[in-house]
């Protein structure tokens, strides 16, 4: 169930085996006793194992009824082994570099805090929302953008709109960025370094509603890449002694999934020709020759393409591009004129999801979308966006999971010493002996490019280096 983020044993027993766990010390006749106070640890473990055994047949029947057996047995169950190995191996870090980055960020935070207070003209607690409101809107007289239940908003979106109205706002935004990096990634990553100077995250295969993998303790999927300061953290992720990092990622996999699902001739043709897809899209949207596409037009086309993969509509596109909603709608309309099959796919997907109550990927992964039947217009709209992106994101997730399973098997058969140690979004990171780098590169491309037969090629980018940063550039 994609709506669930955890599956406690007691809840599953109630739902699938009609076994109610006892509240007290003793179990009712015919029921399982999970009372930790009344049994020793060995007996408790045995009863938990018995509970799991009671779930096997009910869960098997349920998966058969929902058409999920193949997805489970061919992808999700084999993937457990891959993720377990990744969690056991972990990824190497340069602890000294990580500590230096944390300390540098701490010093930068102190500098920006002092500069922000100086620009404000009086001392105040920079982390106090109440005091910040008083400085921004009362003392400096800046124009409030929106109001919350507790007063005028000082969130990032509000401050971005005020950035050019007073020097203090720009300094405050810089401070918040650096403080977030310091606390979450500076302090946070240092605290997670384990034996052998490696970080061993937990990978989740049943948390993200789209089917994508996620990680926590720490969340390595959120290592920032949008800013120079954030990208610097990749310098601290390193290959182990005598090894190098090989990073493989799917190039524009969501857009390739859109082309496949929508069967749009224009998109398929651009991918088959090996065109710069964003340039080709901009050429069609803005009705100019490919060689005449401007950097700004290409950037807008790129935002539209990726926005569609996440169900973005005109308001969200306008916010991202910094343009009025009406202008964003004109760009979206032009996109759908250029690629009409994409519009039809989106509309058909929403209609089918509304009728069935769920979406389903080509691999059979289902996602319930109860928001589609809500009486609230905004909630229904959110459900429509979820329906639009579920098939795209779900297919991309399934392809990547297949690739991980097949890559693990291929490495075992090859006799190569390379190990998969990390997965982040559309990237897989391997630790490879330098003398096996060429052979491993060939194997990785062969496996990942053939993980699924799309109507367009699956393109795999490769990079290698001693650190995550040096490999990715």
Helices (H), 193-312: 228-231, 253-262, 265-272, 277-285, 295-309
Lowest mean pLDDT among 252-261, 320-329, 365-374: 320-329
Q: How far apart are CA 473 and CA 468, in angstroms?
A: 8
* CATH number of the domain to which 103 belongs: 1.20.1060.10
Which has more confidence, 396 or 208?
A: 396
Helices (H), 123-166: 129-133, 156-162
pLDDT at 452 over 50: yes
Identify any residues that bridge with 246 across adjacent strands, giving them in sequence order. 430, 464
Tens digits of residue pLDDT in 457-468: 999 999 999 999
pLDDT > 70 fraction of the chain, expressed in percent and rounded: 95
Tens digits of residue pLDDT in 392-450: 999 999 999 999 999 999 999 999 999 999 999 889 999 999 999 999 999 999 999 99
Same domain, 102 and 134: yes
Residue 249: the pLDDT is: 95
Q: How far apart are CA 44 and CA 39, in angstroms?
A: 6
Which has more confidence, 311 or 315?
A: 315
Same domain, 235 and 324: no
Specify whether the CB–CB gap between 92 and 237 falls below 8 A. yes
Burial 339-366 (b: 16+ CB within 10 A, else e): bebbbebbeebbeebeeeebbbbebbbb
Residue 237: the pLDDT is: 95
Residue range of the domain that includes 59: 1-66
pLDDT at 28 over 70: no
Same domain, 385 and 263: yes
Lowest mean pLDDT among 309-313, 385-389, 403-407: 309-313
Residue 21: the pLDDT is: 58
Q: How far apart are CA 171 and CA 108, in angstroms?
A: 11
Same domain, 310 and 385: yes
Lowest mean pLDDT among 100-114, 140-154, 387-401: 140-154
> Is the C-alpha dihedral spanning 155, 158, 160, 163 positive or negative?
negative
Going by their DSSP bridges, the two strands 151-152 and 202-204 should be labelled as: unpaired
Q: How far apart are CA 420 and CA 429, in angstroms?
A: 6
Residue 50: the pLDDT is: 86
* CATH number of the domain to which 413 belongs: 3.30.70.370
DSSP state of 467: B
**φ and ψ at residue 197, rounded to 5 degrees:** 55, 50
**Mean pLDDT throughout 140-149?**
85
The token duo for 126 is: 């920079």
Q: How far apart are CA 369 and CA 354, in angstroms?
A: 8
Lowest mean pLDDT among 44-48, 174-178, 255-259: 44-48
Same domain, 392 and 355: yes
Residue 209: the pLDDT is: 84
**Mean pLDDT throughout 146-170?**
87
Q: How far apart are CA 454 and CA 188, in angstroms?
A: 40
Same domain, 386 and 436: no
pLDDT at 309 over 90: no
**Mean pLDDT throughout 73-93?**
96
Total domains in the fold of the chain: 4
Give ∠ CA 424-429-434 in degrees, rounded to 5.
165
**Mean pLDDT throughout 90-109?**
96
* CATH number of the domain to which 375 belongs: 1.10.150.20
pLDDT at 335 over 50: yes
Specify whether the CB–CB gap between 246 and 441 falls below 8 A. yes
Please give the order of strands across the beta sheet that includes 237-238: 193-194, 198-199, 91-93, 237-238
The answer to whether position 163 is within a domain reads: yes
In this structure, the number of other CB atoms found within 10 A of the CB of residue 431 comes to 22
Same domain, 151 and 283: no
For the entire predicted model, the pTM comes to 0.87
**Mean pLDDT throughout 184-200?**
94
Question: Looking at 397, 418, 453, which one is the last position of a domain?
Answer: 397
Q: Residues 6 or more apart from 435 whose CB is under 8 A from it?
A: none
**φ and ψ at residue 237, rounded to 5 degrees:** -95, 120
Q: How far apart are CA 373 and CA 387, in angstroms?
A: 12
Q: How far apart are CA 235 and CA 239, in angstroms?
A: 11
Q: How far apart are CA 111 and CA 67, in angstroms?
A: 58
pLDDT > 90 fraction of the chain, expressed in percent and rounded: 66
Q: How far apart are CA 85 and CA 73, in angstroms?
A: 19
Identify any residues that bridge with 360 across adjacent strands, giving them in sequence order. 366
Residue 472: the pLDDT is: 79
The answer to whether position 89 is within a domain reads: no
Same domain, 358 and 389: yes
Tens digits of residue pLDDT in 103-136: 999 999 999 999 999 999 999 999 999 999 999 9
Same domain, 20 and 106: no
> Is the C-alpha dihedral spanning 136, 139, 144, 150 positive or negative?
positive
The answer to whether position 270 is within a domain reads: yes
The token duo for 386 is: 């979820």
The answer to whether position 221 is within a domain reads: no
The token duo for 10 is: 């007691």
The answer to whether position 7 is within a domain reads: yes
**Mean pLDDT throughout 133-157?**
87
The token duo for 324 is: 């009025």
How would residue 24 be classed by pLDDT, with cut points 50, 70 and 90?
very low
The answer to whether position 6 is within a domain reads: yes
In this structure, the number of other CB atoms found within 10 A of the CB of residue 45 comes to 11
Measured CA distances, 402 to 217, 378, 456 (Å): 25, 35, 17
Q: Residues 6 or more apart from 100 whose CB is under 8 A from it?
A: none
The answer to whether position 206 is within a domain reads: no
Question: Looking at 66, 81, 104, which one is the last position of a domain?
Answer: 66
The answer to whether position 288 is within a domain reads: yes
The token duo for 402 is: 């297949």
The token duo for 29 is: 């006749």
The token duo for 17 is: 């085996």
**Mean pLDDT throughout 272-296?**
91
Q: How far apart are CA 280 and CA 298, in angstroms?
A: 9
Q: How far apart are CA 353 and CA 351, in angstroms?
A: 5
Same domain, 259 and 389: yes
Question: Looking at 339, 371, 397, which one is the last position of a domain?
Answer: 397
Same domain, 127 and 143: yes
**What string of DSSP letters covers 99-120?**
HHHHHHHHHHHHHHHHHHHHHH
**What string of DSSP letters covers 309-324?**
HTT--HHHHHHHHTS-
Identify any residues that bridge with 147 across adjacent strands, giving them in sequence order. 152
Same domain, 324 and 413: no
pLDDT at 89 over 90: yes
């Amino acid at each position: 169930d994609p709506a669930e983020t955890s599956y406690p044993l007691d809840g599953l027993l109630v739902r699938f085996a009609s076994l109610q766990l006892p509240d007290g010390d003793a179990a009712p006749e015919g029921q399982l006793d999970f009372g930790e106070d009344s049994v020793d640890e060995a007996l408790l473990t045995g009863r938990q194992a018995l509970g799991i055994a009671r779930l096997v047949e009910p869960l098997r029947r349920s998966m058969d009824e929902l058409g999920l057996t193949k997805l489970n047995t061919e992808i999700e169950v084999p993937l457990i082994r891959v993720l377990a190995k990744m969690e056991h191996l972990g990824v190497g870090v340069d602890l000294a570099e990580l500590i230096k980055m944390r300390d540098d960020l701490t010093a930068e935070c102190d500098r920006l805090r002092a500069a922000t207070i100086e620009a404000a003209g009086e001392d105040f607690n920079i982390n106090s929302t109440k005091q910040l409101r008083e400085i921004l809107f009362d003392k400096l007289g800046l124009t409030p953008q929106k109001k919350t239940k507790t007063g005028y908003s000082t969130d990032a979106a509000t401050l971005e709109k005020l950035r050019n109205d007073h020097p203090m706002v720009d300094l405050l935004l810089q401070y918040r960025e650096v403080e977030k990096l310091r606390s979450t990634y500076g302090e946070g990553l240092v605290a997670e370094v384990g034996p052998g100077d490696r970080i061993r995250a937990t990978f989740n295969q049943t948390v993200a509603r789209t089917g994508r993998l996620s990680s926590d303790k720490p969340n390595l999927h959120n290592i920032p890449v949008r800013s120079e300061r954030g990208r610097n953290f990749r310098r601290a992720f390193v290959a182990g002694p005598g090894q190098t990092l090989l990073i493989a990622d799917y190039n524009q996999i969501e857009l390739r999934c859109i082309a496949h699902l929508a069967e749009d001739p224009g998109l398929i043709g651009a991918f088959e020709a090996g065109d710069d897809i964003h340039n080709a899209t901009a050429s069609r949207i803005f009705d100019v020759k490919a060689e005449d596409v401007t950097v700004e037009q290409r950037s807008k086309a790129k935002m539209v393409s990726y926005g569609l993969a996440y169900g973005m509509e005109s308001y969200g596109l306008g916010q991202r591009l910094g343009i009025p909603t009406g202008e964003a709608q004109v760009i979206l309309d032009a996109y759908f004129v250029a690629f009409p099959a994409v519009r039809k796919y989106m509309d058909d997907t929403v209609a089918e999801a509304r009728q069935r109550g769920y979406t389903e990927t080509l691999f059979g992964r289902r996602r319930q979308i109860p928001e589609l039947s809500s009486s609230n217009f905004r909630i229904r709209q959110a459900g429509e966006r979820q329906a639009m992106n579920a098939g795209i994101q779900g297919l991309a997730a399934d392809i990547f999971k297949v690739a991980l399973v097949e890559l693990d098997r291929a490495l075992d058969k090859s006799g190569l010493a390379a190990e998969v140690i990390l997965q982040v979004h559309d990237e897989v990171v391997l630790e490879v002996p330098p003398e096996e780098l060429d052979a491993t590169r060939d194997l990785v491309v062969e496996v990942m490019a053939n993980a699924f037969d799309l109507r367009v090629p699956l393109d795999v980018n490769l990079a290698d280096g001693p650190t995550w940063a040096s490999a990715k550039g």
